Amino acid sequence: MLYMHDLWVNWFEGEENGYNVCRFHEWRKEDGIELIDQIPLLYVSNALFRLIENDLQDLPLSMLQDIHRKTYMKKNQERHTIEYAAVATDGTDVVVFDTLGYTSPVKKSRLIPRQERLALEMVQGKKAEFYIIEGSAPKEHHILSLDPEKMAGLTRRERQLKQLLMMALDQLKHSDHPEEIRYWLTEWDPVQYPSIKSLSTDEAWSRLYEETCHGWSKLHEELCGKMVKGQPFFETIWQGENEKVSQHMKSQN
């Protein structure tokens, strides 16, 4: 078995989509970066790599047995054993996972570029390990778990705010005030107000979703800010992302 040493990781917990496991250039000062002393490196099929990167389903039992208690982390100069963790690569991309003792990849991280290149170099010329993927259901994307295409090209902040907007839209769809849907669609596209008046509630919501689920713009941001106003949970996320941007800009000056 191949092993890597002294890896810096930035864990993202409970993320089923790889686009939310941020690349090194999007790591932030406030992220909890940790050091892994030793960890197995697995060369796996593309199908298994995508399952690890983009899902939270059960991993092959034989793979978990292969990596059982072979990862060590250093904390306060002490070495701690991790039940099930590994670096996985399909020869093209790399992700690190830790199951927290369960059977699915609960925590995930990317590597810093130098260590990512090393992982790819280490499996060059080797054959991928064959692990049987049992009973995995096809990945389904929805409003709270958008298709990667709808997140392509966005920054970490934009992805966070877009997810917040989708949460607000989902809440709007199931609210006790369906008349609000036409109001927010008009806020999004005032020019269409004459035709919006004749739309049913479902038609208005579908149009609002279809028009906002692609890309990210100043209009998206303005709509998101207005929709979350007065909702403490959503406002906390909104303010948190904007404070992080302010702090980042201050540190750049």
Under the banding of pLDDT at 50, 70 and 90, the label for residue 252 is low
pLDDT over 80 (residue 35): yes
Task: Return the pLDDT at 250.
Answer: 56
232-249 pLDDT per residue, tens: 999 999 999 988 665 555
Q: Is residue 143 part of a domain?
A: no
Residue where one domain finishes, among candidates 123, 139, 157 = 123
Identify the pLDDT of residue 117. 98
Query: In 62-125, where do the E strands start and end?
Result: 68-75, 78-89, 94-98, 107-109
| Whether residue 115 is found in the same domain as residue 154 | no
Q: What is the pLDDT of residue 229?
A: 95
Range of the domain at 228: 148-252
Contact between 145 and 17 (Cβ < 8 Å): yes
- For residue 239, the surrounding DSSP H or E stretch is helix 232-252
DSSP element (H, E) containing 182: helix 179-188
Give the whole-angstrom CA distance, residue 44 versus residue 24: 22
Same-domain check for residues 190 and 248: yes
Q: In this predicted model, what pLDDT tens digit does every residue of 74-114 receive, in sequence order?
A: 887 888 999 999 999 999 999 999 999 999 999 999 999 99
> Per the confidence metrics, is the pTM higher than 0.85?
yes
Count up the domains in the chain and report the number. 2
135 within domain boundaries = no
Indicate if 109 and 19 belong to the same structural domain: yes
Task: Work out the mean pLDDT of the chain and round it to a whole number.
Answer: 93
Rounded distance between C-alpha atoms, residue 218 and residue 224, angstroms: 10
The CB density around residue 14, as the number of other CB atoms within 10 Å, is 9
